[in-house]
Structure 1
Amino acid sequence: MNTVELAPHRVAGLLAPAVDRVFRAGMLAGRDGGGAELSQRYGGPTANGFLVDLRTRLAAPGGTVDGPGFAAITRYWDPVVSRRSVDKQVAHGMLHRRPDGALCATERGTAFLTELYQVHAEVTEELWAGHDERVSRLVAVLGRLLSYALVLADEEGDRGGSAFTAMAPPHEPDGTPSGVLLLNRLGTLRYHRADAHADAWAAAGHTASSIAALPAGPERLAIELETDRRAAGPYSVLSADERLTMLADLAALPG
């Protein structure tokens, strides 16, 4: 792979499926490795589903997700369904909705998130056993990418209605194991691309429902290429070798 192929927009496109694969493997392992049982003890997905989705922000002391950020995170949901789902989780005593519409975890919700972090620590340690050096390298490079992405968001004044800025930086208490750091940093990076994709399809005249129904073809390809361009910014902080190493490390992780 040469330096032209390693350009930031090219790497953004190549990394997207690799990031998705590794992140989903970690989340699936969490569900199968105790997460489903944990969820049921706290009332099931109806009671805590959004806590899982928003865990890296709501687990932070005083952590909140504001209304515009939540709308961005759930942009492909029916707003009425989203609101009713939140209502149920508030009724279960897991989420609190502030007068300004921001969401935060209740004391019970925080206890659930503490246990969820523990589940993710156990399953990722097993899932990525034997890959300590690779995991550590990915954690470090993802930390740089997320930090630079936040700098770019500040420079662009892009702090409202963004899924990424609603969720970044992820909550990482002292002693958080490398596997959890990797899982949650990957999840946060996915929100950055999700925002880029939404900006790309909106610029092309689409809505959340119309882009979901758009078949493969030249128009979708053009939107994906524009997504790569819009998602490329953070990767400029990495050297060409670091971009290639990140690709290789993600490809080598099981899951």
Structure 2
Amino acid sequence: MSYARRIRPVIDRVYVGARWAARARLETFYAERGADLGAESSFFSGLLARPMPADALADGLVYTDGDMSAELAQGVLTVDAEGTWHLTELGRELALFAQRATGEAAEELWSSGPPMLPGLASVPRLAELVGRVLTHGMVTGGPAFHAMTPAYEPADASPAMLLTTRLGSLRHHRADAHRAAWRAAGLTAEQITALPDGPQRVAIEAETDRLDAPAYAVLTENEREELLAGMGALPG
């Protein structure tokens, strides 16, 4: 099994675990401002740094109905004549809170593990390794990855915030690779979602691995194993 495939579920577990741990505080903050969680809470690592092009957002939402009417109606995002999406003042406030709350929730979560695991002590090194992968991935990433990278990182960001933010961007490297693989096979989003296990899915997943793998080539073999083991040891 390729390294890209081995580490992807680990990345997803750690990132999604942090996001779920932050969800209650996000819902409270949003409710106080009369807003619902939307694209700004999912794509904050990119949107806080730059406007999001139409093709990148369309790819990021390809498995959904892509409806952005709530974000527009609530004044969270605006879209210009080219189809590029911009945070409003309210949208930026919400996205900044989503980023900070996710980092805080992750720090709490990763402090709760058994004492024999490194927990938070490993997070600065993991954030550094992921940062290098992000930079190297700029060569091979697709539209969504480039919209999300470099990630927005405030000067006072904690190691936990850096890691969660960078993971939020890194996940789009493989997502772009997967979309490229099933599109090259002539499939639509609906068709790949419904595609059963079999030779065609195996081929698409193998192509996804091939396209995703170059991002990790910047790390030595020992560093790749360090990243995999360190991420795997984080509670989530």
Q: What TM-score, normalized to structure 1?
A: 0.85
User: How many equivalent residue pairs?
Assistant: 230
Which residue in the other structure is 1:164 paired with? 145
CA distance in 1, matches of 2:96, 2:187: 39
Amino acid aligned to 1:71: A
Asked if 1:12 corresponds to 2:39, the answer is no
Deviation of the 1:44 alpha carbon: 3.8
Identity %: 37
Aligned equivalents of 1:231 and 1:117: distance in 2? Answer: 25
Whether 1:221 and 2:202 are equivalent positions in the alignment is yes
Task: Find runs of 4+ consecutive structure 1 residues off by over 3 angstroms.
Answer: none
Per-residue deviation at 1:218?
Answer: 2.4
1:58 aligns with 2:39: no
CA RMSD of aligned residues (A): 1.6
Residue pair 1:38, 1:116 contacting (<8 A) in 2 also: no
CA–CA separation in structure 2 for the residues paired with 1:112 and 1:199: 31
- Give TM-score scaled by structure 2 length: 0.92
1:40 aligns with 2:22: no
Structure 1: gaps of 5 or more residues: none
CA distance in 1, matches of 2:140, 2:191: 29
**Which runs of structure 2 are paired with 1:47-196 in the superposition (5 Å)?**
48-60=37-49, 63-78=50-65, 82=66, 85-129=67-111, 131-153=119-141, 162-196=143-177
Matched, 1:231 2:209: no
Deviation at 1:50, TM superposition (A): 1.0
Q: Is the 8 A contact 1:30 1:119 kept in 2?
A: yes
The match for 2:189 is 208
Q: Quick check: 1:64–1:104 contact (8 Å CA) kept in 2?
A: yes
